[in-house]
Amino acid sequence: MEITEHIDALRREGNRLAEAAARTELSAPVPTCPEWQLADLLRHIGSVHRWAAAIVSQGLPAPLDETGTQAAVGPLPSDATLLDWYREGHTALVDALTAAPADVECWSFLPSPSPLAFWARRQAHETAVHRHDADAAAGAPGPAVDTALALDGIDELVSGFMTSSRSTLRSDRPRTLQVRATDGAGSDSDSGTGSWRLTITQEPPTVTTGESPEPADLTLAGPARELYPLLWNRLPFGQARDVVATGDQGLLDLWRDAAAIR
């Protein structure tokens, strides 16, 4: 996806999050984040948006410390103004990414073509995933994310977060997980976006794209719109109606317990 596409997705998913929140009590529990109520979710994502906007707009070479974060986020709002505060932070982030020059230099934490590409992508998925949380609090699913965004978000998760040294996805014995998006470009071939193979050991997982002649311990196959929230642990496997799991179902439990982003 291009930077402009990520920014458009950030705008769209952020607006959908606000729409879900507007029809829900702030005290509603968030089933996908069991320790949170909707108010906690809004304060979290509103703070993240302001934090990311400060890094990009100020061209910061390192992450904000506690004092810098407090300055960027500002005082947290009361419940009465919380939704408006969230909307303001979301708009400010979209504006900061849109106005940033393509060659802006600032801190980022996953491999990317550029810092701007990283932040546009990261915040698009940060917001889309938390939009699923807002829908869960509202008690009704919202529209599925676009296929292109879902494929991109699966790739960020498995090729970026899961392979980092901070990943907690480990196994005492080597195990393989094949993720196949049946609607992905190249999903019927040996290469191209739409298929990822993870090898899980006692070290950070390794990931290759495309298919392998060797069967995986577990294969998850289905549309990207369901694989995306499933792999981000926002959709229980039993509710992913069009995803087929073939092989070692225990890997689903390992993924749910260990593939967390903190």
Is residue 122 packed enough to be buried (19+ CB in 10 Å), middle (13-18) or exposed (0-12)?
Answer: buried
For residues 71-96, give the mean pLDDT.
98
> Tokens 């304060």 sit at which residue?
43
The gap from C-alpha 102 to its chain's centroid, in whole angstroms, comes to 23
pLDDT tens-digit profile of 11-56? 999 999 999 999 999 999 999 999 999 999 999 999 999 999 999 9
- Please give, one letter per residue, the 3-state secondary structure of the chain: CCHHHHHHHHHHHHHHHHHHHHCCCCCCECCCCCCCEHHHHHHHHHHHHHHHHHHHHHCCCCCCCHHHHHHHHCCCCCHHHHHHHHHHHHHHHHHHHHHCCCCCCCCCCCCCCCHHHHHHHHHHHHHHHHHHHHHHHHCCCCCCCCHHHHHHHHHHHHHHHCCCCCCCCCCCCCEEEEEEECCCCCCCCCCCCCEEEEEECCCCCEEEECCCCCCCCEEEEECHHHHHHHHCCCCCHHHCCCCEEEECCHHHHHHHHHCCCC
pLDDT tens-digit profile of 103-140? 999 999 999 999 999 999 999 999 999 999 999 999 99
Distance CA 199, CA 217 (A): 10
0.75 surpassed by pTM: yes
Is residue 37 packed enough to be buried (19+ CB in 10 Å), middle (13-18) or exposed (0-12)?
Answer: middle
For residues 59-86, give the mean pLDDT.
97
Taking the alpha carbons at both ends of the chain, their separation in whole angstroms is: 25
pLDDT at 193: 65
Closest CA to 241 of 222, 228, 256, 224: 222
Radius of gyration of the chain from Cα atoms? 18
Six token digits for residue 112: 């990317």
Given a cut of 80, is residue 190 above it in pLDDT? no
